[in-house]
């Protein structure tokens, strides 16, 4: 069955430090890949997406993600986190032809230390 | 531009009571979705509507019904609420097919069933 794994439930990072959130998916072909962010008490907002082409994609708020086909991974990175980045981050995949029916990871909660 | 609007934001029910969650979008999107979010489980699709006049079951449809009232509105009904339906519910919309695949979310409706 198709699945998305975010192995880290929580990650704590100092303000100004770099960040990498991991995402692995299980799917035969290359799906469409997404990262969403959920601030406390809010809905989810799209950070970035990968459909095809350049495997390093840039998103909003200074985030980027790299698709690695050989590792079935789509990890999210940011060079220097800010206190406002504290939120929960969700990786999602939509198998090609699924009409964007997303399969979601369980989420990673990012905690920022001052 | 309001985007996706959900009502109510909070609701407390007793077991066996019924209620309807309302959702409206003003982006002229064809597709609409209802998700539930539970800690550590990410988002799970309850029902979706690919276009006006159609609805389909998602991953966890039991205990719920939906109505796609028109292109703008998609409601979720709990006929006989159970404590297992305590959750945060999100409505989302998207433009499938030639669209970007991005989901636009409402702010959520927190439901507690006692």
Tens of pLDDT, residue by residue over A83-109, are: 999 999 999 988 766 666 788 999 999
Q: What pLDDT shows up at residue A88?
A: 96
Picking from A9, A44, A106, the nearest residue to B105 by CB comes out as: A44
Distance from CA of B107 to the nearest CA of A (A): 4
Q: Which residues of B touch A36 (CB under 8 A)?
A: 103
Per the CB < 8 Å rule, is B102 touching A107?
Answer: no
Q: What pLDDT shows up at residue B95?
A: 81
Per the CB < 8 Å rule, is A9 touching B103?
Answer: no
Q: Please give the angle made by the CA atoms of B101, B102 and B108, to the nearest 5 degrees.
A: 135
Distance from CA of B88 to the nearest CA of A (A): 10
Give one word for B85, left, alpha or beta, with left for phi > 0 and alpha for psi -120 to 50.
alpha
Q: What pLDDT shows up at residue A42?
A: 87
Q: Which residues of A touch B99 (CB under 8 A)?
A: 100
Q: What pLDDT shows up at residue B99?
A: 56
Closest chain A residue to B5, measured at CA:
A43
Spell out, as residue ranges, where chain A has pLDDT lower than 70. Answer: 28, 96-100
Tens of pLDDT along chain B (114 residues) come to: 679 999 999 999 999 999 999 999 999 999 999 999 998 888 999 999 988 889 999 989 999 999 998 999 999 999 999 999 999 999 999 886 555 678 899 999 999 999
Rounded to an integer, what distance in angstroms lies between the CA atom of residue A64 and that of residue B70? 37
Per the CB < 8 Å rule, is B45 touching A105?
Answer: no
Tokens of A24: 């692995």
Closest chain B residue to A109, measured at CA:
B40
């Amino acid at each position: 069955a198709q699945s998305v794994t975010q192995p880290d439930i929580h990650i704590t990072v100092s303000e100004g430090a770099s960040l990498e959130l991991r995402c692995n998916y299980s799917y035969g072909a290359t799906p469409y890949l997404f990262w969403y962010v959920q601030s406390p008490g809010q809905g989810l907002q799209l950070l970035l997406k990968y459909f095809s082409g350049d495997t390093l994609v840039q998103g909003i708020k200074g985030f980027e993600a790299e698709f690695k086909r050989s590792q079935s991974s789509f990890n999210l990175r940011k060079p220097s986190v800010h206190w406002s980045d504290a939120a929960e981050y969700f990786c999602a995949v939509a198998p090609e032809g699924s009409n964007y029916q997303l399969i979601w990871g369980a989420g990673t909660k990012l905690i920022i230390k001052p | 531009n309001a985007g996706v609007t959900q009502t109510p934001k909070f609701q407390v029910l007793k077991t066996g009571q019924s209620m309807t969650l309302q959702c409206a979008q003003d982006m002229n999107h064809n597709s609409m979705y209802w998700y539930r979010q539970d800690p550590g489980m990410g988002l799970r699709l309850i029902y979706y509507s690919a276009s006006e006049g159609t609805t389909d079951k998602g991953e966890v449809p039991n205990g719920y019904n939906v109505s796609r009232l028109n292109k703008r509105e998609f409601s979720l009904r709990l006929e006989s609420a159970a404590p297992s339906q305590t959750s945060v519910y999100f409505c989302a919309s998207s433009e499938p097919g030639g669209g970007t695949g991005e989901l636009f979310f409402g702010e959520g409706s927190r439901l507690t069933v006692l």
